[in-house]
Amino acid sequence: MFALRRRLLALAGCLVLAATVPLSAAPAQAAVPDVWAFAYSDNPAPAPGTVLNTNYQWGTFRTSCPGSWATVTQVTTGKYQVKLPCSASTNGIVHVTAVNDNARYCEVENWYDSGTTKLVTVLCFKGPSPDPSAFTVTYTRSSGAPGGVGAHAYVYSNPAGGLLASYNSAGAANTITHTGTGKWEVKFSALSTGAYDGDLQATAVHPNDLPRRCKIDNWFYSGPDYRVPVSCTDPNGTLVDTWWTLSYHYKRSVFGAVSPPTRLAYQSNLVAAPPGSSYNSVGAPNSFVAAPPGRYTMKFNAVGVSRTHLQVTALGGPPGFYCQLEKVWANIGSTISAPVICYNNGGVPTDNLLFSTYTSEV
């Protein structure tokens, strides 16, 4: 454990965790999302139109289209189309996470509307090759004036750093700077609390089905803003320009809603993590257990209820390192236990930092 602590602290040394003098301003408040949905595809080879596991899916479509469920179709090996009923909308984003006990990663090809349905195409890979995998997927779209507690923001970027979709619960402008091949810096304006409060998630996107991985390199605050460096690579760990999504949430679910859900939590695996980077909506302590190399069990206490969802993203480490869920999370006496594995570019389990976020439907 002491050796692991040293490794994690060495990784953490690459992170800027003391950027400015803390601010006294209260955090910005967030709007309830207009449309959101989450789902878990547990079958790597589903038949066309398979209803996704109903124990792990929910969204606004359950109100707007009572009785409807999200479905999935395997298009080709490692390529899936998820249908989210009654979720058609613009200016939203998607996140995906591979769920597999072998080295896999998933990205998004595209998402678009067909009538009232939101179609999301997910791509999963082993190394450079498409490969079947289970995965989690979430879609969200927010707009309008802020309200409630916490904060929420997201961007969808093209390779040059152009904004394709953007939301900021403070009503301020998000910006993206392309800092080099495969590197960008996002500014979430007017959301900083003067501390490391909240969680971040990133997902690679490629409309031509090229294998890509994206992660969060760092996180720091500057004046009233959060700044988030993001990097993306090919399967060999070579930095490459691509499309990607990034979201931030503070005391809210990964899709931006709260009350409901009233049961949500997030945490990193950073040793001596800043207090605000670990949050539990019922006030119970989160925790994690490390099993080197590269394995972590993320525990979210007292929030396990009803239908649930998880996303994870690598934080820091060399280019191309990535993290995924090893298998579906377990609810043990209302404690969510989520096994996560992080890998190097060769698909070997390797210690790395990560962000993990959990939410229920209620």
Amino acid at 143: S
pLDDT confidence bin for 23, thresholds 50/70/90: very low
Please count the other Cβ atoms lying within 10 Å of the Cβ belonging to residue 330: 12
Among 30-44, 169-183, 201-215, 230-244, name the one with the lowest average pLDDT.
30-44
Q: Which residue has the higher pLDDT, 97 or 28?
A: 97
Q: What is the pLDDT of residues 262-301, one digit of tens each?
A: 999 999 999 989 999 999 999 999 999 999 999 999 999 9
360 vs 344: CA distance, rounded Å: 31
* Burial per residue of 100-139, b for 16 or more beta-carbon CB atoms within 10 angstroms, e otherwise: beebbbbbbbbbeeeeebbbbbbbbbbeeeebbbbbbbbb
Residue 31 is predicted with a pLDDT of: 56
SS3 211: coil
pTM of the model: 0.92
pLDDT-derived band of residue 146, with 50, 70 and 90 as boundaries?
low
pLDDT at residue number 148 = 79
* Residue that has been written with the tokens 């996107």 in this structure: 205
* Confidence tier at 20 by pLDDT (50, 70, 90): very low
- What confidence score (pLDDT) does residue 65 get? 96
The pLDDT tens digits of the residues spanning 40-79 come to: 999 999 999 999 999 999 999 999 999 999 999 999 999 9
* pLDDT averaged over every residue in the chain: 92
Identify the pLDDT of residue 8.
41
Lowest mean pLDDT among 10-14, 188-192, 203-207: 10-14
**Which class for 337: exposed (0-12), middle (13-18), buried (19 or more C-beta within 10 A)?**
middle
Element holding 163 (H helix, E strand): strand 163-168
**Cα–Cα distance measured from residue 174 to residue 167, given in angstroms and rounded to the nearest whole number:** 7
| pLDDT at residue 82 tops 70 | yes
pLDDT score at 248: 98
Question: Which positions ≥6 away from 43 have C-beta within 8 Å?
Answer: 50, 72, 134
3-state secondary structure of 276: helix
Return d(Cα 247, Cα 214) in angstroms, integer: 13
Does residue 21 surpass a pLDDT of 50?
no
**pLDDT at 167 > cutoff 80:** yes
Phi, psi of 171 (to 5 degrees): 80, 10
The amino acid present at 202, given as its one-letter code, is A
Residue type, 339: P
Strand partners, 298: 288, 338
Residue where the block lists tokens 């927010």: 142
Average the pLDDT over 332-337 and give the result: 98
